[in-house]
Chain A
Amino acid sequence: MHPLQEEQVIMKPRNMFWIAIGILFVISGIVVILLTAGEGGTGSMLVAAGLALALTAIVRHYRYGDNPESDERSKKIGAYGITYAWLTGLIFMTVLFWLDCAGILRLGTQNALAASILVLALSAIVCQNWLLRKGDVG
């Protein structure tokens, strides 16, 4: 093998697969937008999903290359972080439910669901980063 080739990081098939799927989503989203003359949310949903898939795979490739992406410690930290996010999200949804039930705050279905999903995802990121910085689950 050529010595320079050893330095090259070959993309994992999984990352390549996700990038291809993402590009397919983006293309079909653009086609839908063109066909429906920009009306409706289907096209933008497909484009957003495709971009998210492709970007995740690209970031994963540049961050980890051919190395393993997780070990026992990072998996444990990930699971504990998501557990805290599960609890936060459940409490948030229960509070929203009772506020809606009592008529104090009526967000509407889509806003309530979107807010809950955001709280679930953001609290997972915050908790995992906090635990990663701390080093280990105590």
Chain B
Amino acid sequence: MRLRNSDLNLIGSVLLFAALVMIYVYGNDTLLPLGLIIASLALTLVLIARRRRTPEEPDSDERTRKNGAFGLSWSWLIGVCGMVVLFWADYFGIWRPGALVELGASILLFLLSAIVFLAYLSHKGDADNSCIPSKRNR
């Protein structure tokens, strides 16, 4: 199911309104309004990205889906390796910033590496065999 732009706009506005009401009622000491504002901001960014695209251009085709799948696979690998490193660094007491920071860093690592790989593959044009690790090792 694909949400229309007007639906997204409505959801974003309702979230923002709810966040403002919560700040007015409960004050500035809870985290929920901040989360709602961030969600509303993300929806607005999606809306802007959609508006920039020309209407006749399709959202995705076979090639972009394949690029996306390969890019996210690479991002998964990088993310898991990063999390294993974080785990052992914490285990041996090398770096112990706390669960929140480590989870946040992992989420950021996943998202940033996904963006980098997707941009690289879409710049390159196609996820051909040269970017598949098992092929290179053989």
B-contacting residues of A (Cβ < 8 Å)?
12, 14, 41, 45, 69-70, 75-76, 78-80, 82-83, 85-87, 89-90, 93-94, 96-98, 100-102, 106-110, 112-114, 116-117, 120-121, 124, 137
User: How many cross-chain pairs have Cβ atoms below 8 Å apart between A and B?
Assistant: 98
Residues of B within 8 A of A120 (CB): 76, 79-80, 83
Is B43's CB within 8 Å of the partner chain A? no
For chain B, the bracket of interface size reads 35 or more
With A86-B114, A93-B107, A117-B83 already in contact, the answer to whether A110 and B91 are too (CB < 8 A) is: yes
For B94-138 the 0/1 string (1 means CB < 8 A from A) is 001011101110110011001000000000000100001010011
The B interface, classified by DSSP as helix, strand, loop or mixed, is helix
A-contacting residues of B (Cβ < 8 Å)?
31-32, 35, 66, 68-70, 72-73, 75-77, 79-80, 83-84, 86-88, 90-92, 96, 98-100, 102-104, 106-107, 110-111, 114, 127, 132, 134, 137-138
**CB within 8 A of B100: which of A41, A45, A101?**
A101
Residue pair A121, B80 in contact (C-beta under 8 Å)? yes
